[in-house]
């Protein structure tokens, strides 16, 4: 990766004070100090374009003793603070990777990276790309051929260029053009995706100029037609003032009169959460957004680190230039920098606690990120129940969940990302995909097998959303193993004369690699600690992974899509832990070639049995658009579960107080209506009893 090592002069201004915790995100002062140290390593007036300034996480082997000392109230070992930096010499291809020691003010590493290694986009750059596309005289000439009504506002949507191996060594953007409703051009929130145009400029990030203008195919094949006058089409708006809104929806208020049951302790730039025996640290960074560290239940260690590692969205249109549409939203942009400022009563309901963050900008200064994580509790229905029909007594407990939610906007799409904890020792990771479909122009009457016409002249192409959750386990210690269970039928025998018996067989995964679910055998992956046994049945303590199966990446194995999306071909990847291997698609995904992500790490064929390993768990959607997905898409929901197996000696939610009316205060609406002959009754103490028989 390194083509050249750049000498760096020492900086005389080390950080005077830094957050004490080694996993805390960089503070505002640390970010600006880092950029000043990097700037000082170059001749004066060198214009640097910073892409990332973030925490260089210390080695796990150094942090684990720190965490144990922290939890046992012992003296804490000293761990220095370091920053990871990516930057360009502005408007050049000279892309660098640096590490700065914030304790000493020294640049430990400053590498000029080689060809085909490119940085993520950033907000300032994307705005500049939009302007460059629309200011270009050649683009203006093509737009003029459309003969749009006077006053029409054209919108440019920059896309990461992608990769196909054809003249793509330079870092570029492919812009897709749209327009606002020409009859209402002053509406800034007009849904321009309903009015796509067949013009697509390509911009170089070195010159910030248009280097090519692609005319888009709009028929059944790759034929390019001359630009003709645009036939005005109706708009398709999603904002509420353009709808006839329902009037029969009554308020549903989430009220906690005594406040929330969780506690948040701010420690420098990170936060420690405690709730219902759970305790963990929350961090936030430019690429992954929300990261959870040191996750424990009832003081028992479960996970060292949890985060969304990567996502890939490959599209199905094989024609140029659409064949390169394959977004890596975390690596190409960043879940942290794209996080929404969440609004009370809109994005999160109830008693809400918000977390803020501080990220870097392109000049090496800071970007305050307010309300990027919302924390709240929610009712999740009945947690457990049993009725003794002989006595009529029902024991019932409602399930309460703790939700940590972040929402990111990636141009047209939104992703609602949440870690969800419950009182039974379980963790869910939930993804909700919404927003607006990425659209392109299509001729009237044309149908293609790789997309859906969702509005006159508008094609929404089939695409996949493939997500990778990185799970770094520390289940009651570091030496864990991955196993999978399968259910098999017993052969008919004197013991099984009716052919109905089946058994579960456990297999230990010994070698790094990609592994898949098998629904026909109910294959289920578990993280185990063989050195800690359940006191009742003697089984190893474990957590099982329940992730929905999905269609793996459809692009063939020789395609750039497949080579780049290294996580998209298996349900699970397991690799031996190595510091720095955080991103399933590799550290640099923009116009990448593959070979630097989890598939390559798995090919080391390391031993992963009874050692420190990392799981990458995939889930996905094959999104075949429907007309109901437009102009804005109802949420598609994916959920992954991590549940204890033989970890406790009984149901860990037994001690949750019973569900009672004097606590829940529900309202009865059916008093004036006919009551059924079998009715529930409420006892004098407010507890719920069984129906009378």
- Write out the catalytic residue numbers: 329, 413
Residue 559, class by beta-carbon neighbours within 10 Å (0-12 exposed, 13-18 middle, 19+ buried)? middle
Would you give the distance in Å from CA 169 to the centre of its chain? 28
Phi, psi of 527 (to 5 degrees): -95, 125
Q: What is the dihedral of CA 192, 196, 197, 199, to 10 degrees?
A: 100
Q: Tell me, what DSSP letter sits at residue 74?
A: -
Under 8 Å between Cβ of 197 and 112: no
Helices (H) and strands (E) in the chain, counts: 8, 32
Residue 430 neighbours by CB under 8 Å, 6+ apart: 416, 417, 418, 420, 637, 638, 639, 640
Supply the Cα-derived Rg of the chain in whole angstroms.
Answer: 28
Q: For residue 396, give both structure tokens.
A: 């019932």
Tell me how far apart the alpha carbons of residues 682 and 653 are, in angstroms, rounded to a whole number: 23
Q: How many C-beta neighbours within 10 Å does residue 16 have?
A: 7
Tokens 């959460």 appear where? 273
Residue 425, class by beta-carbon neighbours within 10 Å (0-12 exposed, 13-18 middle, 19+ buried)? buried
Vertex 94, ends 287 and 84: CA angle to 5°?
Answer: 35
Q: Tell me, what DSSP letter sits at residue 499?
A: S
The full DSSP string for 546-611 is E----PPP-S-TTSHHHHH-TTTT-SEEEEE--TT---TT-S--TT--SSSSHHHHHTT--B-TTB
Report which secondary-structure segment, H or E, holds 28: helix 28-40
Report which secondary-structure segment, H or E, holds 69: helix 60-71
Tokens 């994580």 appear where? 373
Tokens 């995909």 appear where? 433
């Amino acid at each position: 990766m390194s083509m050249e090592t750049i000498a760096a002069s020492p900086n005389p201004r080390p950080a005077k004070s830094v957050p004490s915790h080694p996993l805390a995100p960089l503070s505002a002062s640390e970010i600006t100090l880092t950029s000043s140290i990097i700037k000082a390593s170059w001749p004066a007036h060198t214009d640097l374009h910073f892409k990332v300034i973030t925490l260089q996480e210390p080695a796990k082997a150094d942090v684990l003793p720190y965490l144990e000392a922290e939890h046992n109230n012992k003296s804490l070992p000293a761990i220095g603070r370091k920053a990871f930096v990516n930057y360009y010499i502005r408007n050049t291809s000279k892309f660098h990777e640096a590490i700065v020691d914030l304790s000493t003010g020294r640049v430990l590493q400053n590498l000029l990276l080689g060809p085909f290694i490119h940085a993520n986009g950033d907000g300032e750059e994307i705005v500049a790309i939009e302007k460059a596309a629309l200011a270009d005289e050649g683009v203006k000439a093509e737009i003029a051929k459309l003969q749009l009504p006077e006053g029409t506002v054209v919108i440019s949507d920059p896309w990461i260029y992608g990769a196909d191996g054809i003249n793509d060594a330079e870092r570029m953007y492919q812009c897709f053009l749209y327009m606002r409703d020409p009859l209402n051009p002053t509406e800034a929130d007009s849904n321009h995706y309903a009015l796509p145009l067949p013009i697509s400029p390509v911009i170089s990030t070195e010159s910030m100029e248009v280097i090519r203008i692609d005319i888009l195919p709009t028929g059944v094949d790759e034929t390019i037609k001359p630009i003709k006058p645009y036939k005005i089409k109706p708009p398709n708006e999603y904002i509420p003032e353009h709808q006839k809104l329902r009037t029969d929806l009554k308020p549903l208020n989430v009220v906690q009169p005594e406040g929330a049951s969780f506690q948040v302790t701010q420690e420098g730039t990170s936060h420690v959460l405690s709730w219902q025996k759970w305790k963990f640290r929350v961090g936030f960074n430019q690429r992954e957004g929300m990261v959870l560290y040191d996750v424990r239940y009832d003081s028992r260690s479960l996970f060292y680190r949890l985060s969304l590692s990567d996502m890939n969205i490959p599209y199905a249109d094989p024609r140029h230039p659409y064949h390169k549409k394959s977004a890596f939203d975390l690596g190409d942009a960043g879940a942290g920098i794209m996080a929404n400022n969440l609004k009370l009563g809109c994005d999160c309901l109830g008693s809400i606690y918000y977390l803020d963050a501080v990220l870097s900008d392109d000049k090496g200064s800071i970007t305050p990120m307010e309300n990027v994580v919302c924390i709240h509790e929610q009712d999740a229905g009945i947690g457990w129940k049993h009725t003794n029909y002989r006595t009529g007594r029902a024991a019932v407990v409602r399930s309460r969940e703790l939700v940590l939610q972040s929402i990111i906007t990636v141009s047209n799409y939104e992703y609602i990302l949440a870690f969800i904890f419950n009182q039974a020792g379980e963790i869910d990771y939930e993804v909700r995909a919404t927003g607006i479909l990425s659209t392109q122009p299509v001729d009237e009457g044309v149908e293609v097998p790789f997309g859906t016409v969702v509005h006159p002249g508008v094609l929404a192409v089939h695409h996949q959303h493939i997500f990778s959750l990185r799970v770094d386990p520390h289940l009651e210690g570091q030496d864990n193993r991955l196993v999978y269970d399968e259910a098999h039928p017993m052969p008919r025998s004197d013991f099984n004369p009716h052919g109905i018996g089946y058994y579960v067989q456990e297999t230990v995964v010994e070698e790094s690699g990609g592994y898949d679910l098998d629904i026909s055998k109910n294959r289920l992956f578990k993280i185990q600690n063989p050195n800690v046994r359940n006191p009742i049945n003697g089984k190893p303590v474990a957590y099982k992974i329940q992730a929905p199966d999905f269609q793996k990446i459809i692009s063939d194995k020789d395609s750039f899509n497949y080579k780049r999306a290294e996580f998209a071909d298996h349900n699970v990847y397991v690799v031996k832990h190595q510091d720095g291997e955080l991103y399933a698609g590799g550290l640099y995904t923009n116009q990448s070639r593959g070979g630097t992500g989890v598939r390559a790490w798995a090919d080391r064929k390391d031993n992963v049995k009874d050692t420190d390993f990392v799981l990458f768990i995939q889930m996905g959607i094959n999104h075949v658009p429907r007309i109901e997905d437009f102009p804005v898409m109802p949420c598609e929901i994916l959920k992954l579960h991590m549940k204890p197996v033989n970890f406790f000696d009984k149901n860990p939610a037994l001690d949750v107080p019973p569900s009672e009316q004097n606590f829940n205060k529900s309202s009865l609406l059916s008093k004036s209506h006919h009551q059924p002959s079998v009715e529930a009754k409420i006892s004098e103490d407010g507890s719920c009893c069984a129906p009378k028989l």
